[in-house]
Amino acid sequence: MSELEAIGFGVQKFVPNDKFLRRIFPLYLKKSGEISSAAFHNTSDTNRMSTNWMKLSSVEDTLKDNPDYGVASITAELCWELSQEIEWTPAEDSIAHCGVVGKKTASISKKFRDGAEYLKFPKRPDY
């Protein structure tokens, strides 16, 4: 049995308190200290926002090769409240990779920003 099979790849059902880690690029930290809602937009030319499933990852894993970035945690429940789906899509460099799928309007991005738990703030950029 492969590692993916052992943890239920292809049949995974998330529960409301499952957490997903989102990297926050330093430029999304405003001068005011607030995180921009732009940190919660979809990846360019897709309908998904990249995250890591906290069950299989950590803040340190999420920041690998990007120590100046921040990390926010969002719950499955928040995703569902915002009419977003969650797909577990392991990547070559991260078994924990998940996509939060759905349109991210400005109001949805703001709700993600406001509902997130910030586990590490990004390093303040030199403005």
pLDDT in tens, the chain (127 residues): 455 555 555 556 899 999 999 999 999 999 999 999 999 999 889 999 999 999 999 999 999 989 999 999 999 999 999 999 999 999 888 999 999 999 999 999 999 999 999 999 999 867 5
User: For position 91, what pLDDT does the model report?
Assistant: 87
Contacts of 34 (CB under 8 A, 6+ apart): none
The per-residue pLDDT for 1 is 45
What pLDDT was estimated at residue 5? 54
Nearest to residue 37, comparing CAs of 107, 109, 119?
A: 109
What residue ranges do the domains of the chain occupy? 3-120
Whole-model pTM? 0.89
- Per residue, the 3-state secondary structure of the chain, as one string, reads CCHHHHCCCCCCCCCCCCEEEEEECHHHECCCCCECHHHHCCCCCCCEEEEEECCCCCHHHHCCCCCCCEEEEEEHHHHHHCCCEEEECCECCECCEEEEECCCCHHHHHHHHHHCEEEECCCCCCC
> What confidence score (pLDDT) does residue 4 get?
56
